[in-house]
Amino acid sequence: MCGIVGLYLKNPALNCHLGALFEPMLLEMTQRGPDSTGFAIYRDPQPLGGVKIVLQNAAADFEWAEVAADLTRHFMADVGFRPIHTHCLLTLNADEAGVRRYLLRANAPYAVVSIGRHIEIYKEVGLPAAVASMFKLSAVQGSHAIGHTRMATESAVTTAGSHPFSTGSDLCLVHNGSLSNHNRLRRKLAKDGAVFRTENDSEVAAQYLDVQMRRGLSLEAALYAALKDLDGFFTFTIGTSDGFAVLRDPIACKPAVMAETPEWVAMASEYRALAKLPGVERARVWEPEPATVYVWEKGGQARAARAWLAQAS
């Protein structure tokens, strides 16, 4: 099981309603994934040279001010921070690669949830309604959001094992399915420099995309490469700074449905998650084809490329 939802608002006038439109989608997927819940929100882009970070520590009395002070000392930059439940959103002007290296160091007293200029990920163990309320999702504004409700199969039910998995700058991945070659792939990716934080198969997919894209592949090319290298069942939704992508494995046992109107484009595991969106009765609704990458980017239409046919032959 597991439930996936994604919503991109084409009409910026709707941005102030992102959370109000997105939360019911996530909650509708409760039956598909009651173990843990997470979502990525794309909003308030930092200026070039700026970095936005979300960190997590479950301790109620954790001193986020000390983390901010530490980053200020280390990067000689003003650090803004805003604790939200078990997470903390921090912003600073610094080199992103350097920030990433520092935050991911061994024995850091927090988990790194997301890094980028646009992305904020919040995720926790618990029912979607509880997690959405923890992070006040309904009031969130922004351009797009990706969400996941987890029914755990491959690894423990923990905050770190919840989706979305951040994959490099402003990228995140949510997964419905299970990968069967993730252990072998994890060892290979670790040799290529990937730093793993969980035993989760979906994190392997996220790290795989990150490694491919650091090698210079586009997101689309990295996803087509994933069709060859990932063995198992998957529907992926990948959030990017200006849109999202969807990919299903060639067998396509895991469900997905997409819908588009002039105002928004959305995807979900099941249509019922889309049923409350405004204008859905006039939307173009379709099921993404197996082994086909769908990419939606700012200013464009959803497009599907059947390049895999050429690649496979």
Partner 1 sequence: MDASGYVFDLTQHTVRELNQALHNLPEQGPPTAWKVLNPAGEHTVAVGINAPCTVEIAGHVGYYCAGMNKYATVTINGNASTGLAENMMSGVVRVRGNASQSAGATGRGGLLVIEGDASARCGISLKGLDIVVQGAVGHMSAFMAQRGRLVVCGDAGPALGDSLYEAQIYVRGSIADLGADCIEKELRTEHVEALEALLAAARIALPARQFRRYGSARKLYHFSVDHADAY
Closest CA to 150 of 134, 170, 127: 127
Residues whose CB falls within 8 Å of the CB of residue 304, separated by 6 or more in sequence, listed in order: 288, 289, 292, 293, 294
Among 58, 285, 304, 305, binds partner 1 (CB under 8 A): 285
108 lies in the site for partner 1, by CB under 8 A: no
Residues 6+ apart with CB under 8 A from 124: 36, 37, 38, 85, 86, 130, 131, 134, 135, 159, 162
Contact 204, 179 (CB under 8 A): yes
State in angstroms the smallest separation of the CB of 257 from partner 1.
8
278 preceded by a cis bond (ω within 30 of 0): no
Contact pick of 287, 300, 306, 311 for partner 1 (by CB under 8 A):
287
58 forms part of the interface with partner 1 (CB under 8 A) = no
Of the ranges 41-49, 105-113, 200-208, 272-280, which one interacts with partner 1 (CB under 8 A)? 272-280
Burial class (CB in 10 A: 0-12, 13-18, 19+), 105: exposed
Write the binding mask 247 to 266 for partner 1: x where contact by CB under 8 A, - elsewhere.
---x-x--x-x---------
Size of the site for partner 1 (CB under 8 A): 17
- Is 304 a binding residue for partner 1 by CB under 8 A? The answer is no
How many whole angstroms separate alpha carbon 165 and alpha carbon 69?
Answer: 27
Q: Per rule CB under 8 A, is residue 102 in the interface with partner 1? A: no
16 an active-site residue?
no
Under rule CB under 8 A, residue 271 binds partner 1: yes
Taking CB under 8 A as the rule, does residue 307 contact partner 1? Answer: no
Q: 48 and 118 in contact (C-beta within 8 Å)?
A: no
Query: What tokens does 102 get?
Result: 């520092």
User: Does the protein bind partner 1 through residue 233 (CB under 8 A)?
Assistant: no
91 versus 176: smaller Cβ distance to partner 1: 176
For helices 201-214 and 182-191, give the axis angle rounded to 10 degrees: 40
Pick from 263, 270, 297, 304 the residue near partner 1 by CB under 8 A. Answer: 270
Nearer to partner 1 among residue 134 and residue 304 (C-beta):
304
Interface with partner 1, residue 274, by CB under 8 A: yes
Q: Which two tokens stand for residue 58?
A: 């479950």
Strands of 50-56's sheet, edge to edge? 79-84, 87-93, 50-56, 111-116
Nearer to partner 1 by Cβ, of 45 and 290: the residue is 290
Verify binding: residue 24, partner 1, rule CB under 8 A. Answer: no
Considering the complex, state which of residue 83 and residue 255 has its C-beta at the smaller distance from partner 1.
Answer: 255
Which of 276/298 has CB closer to partner 1? Answer: 276
For the record, the structure tokens of 71 come out as 């980053």
49 or 279: CB nearest partner 1 = 279
Active-site residues, by number, are: 2
- Where do contacts with partner 1 occur on this chain (CB under 8 A)? 250, 252, 255, 257, 270-276, 281, 285-287, 289-290
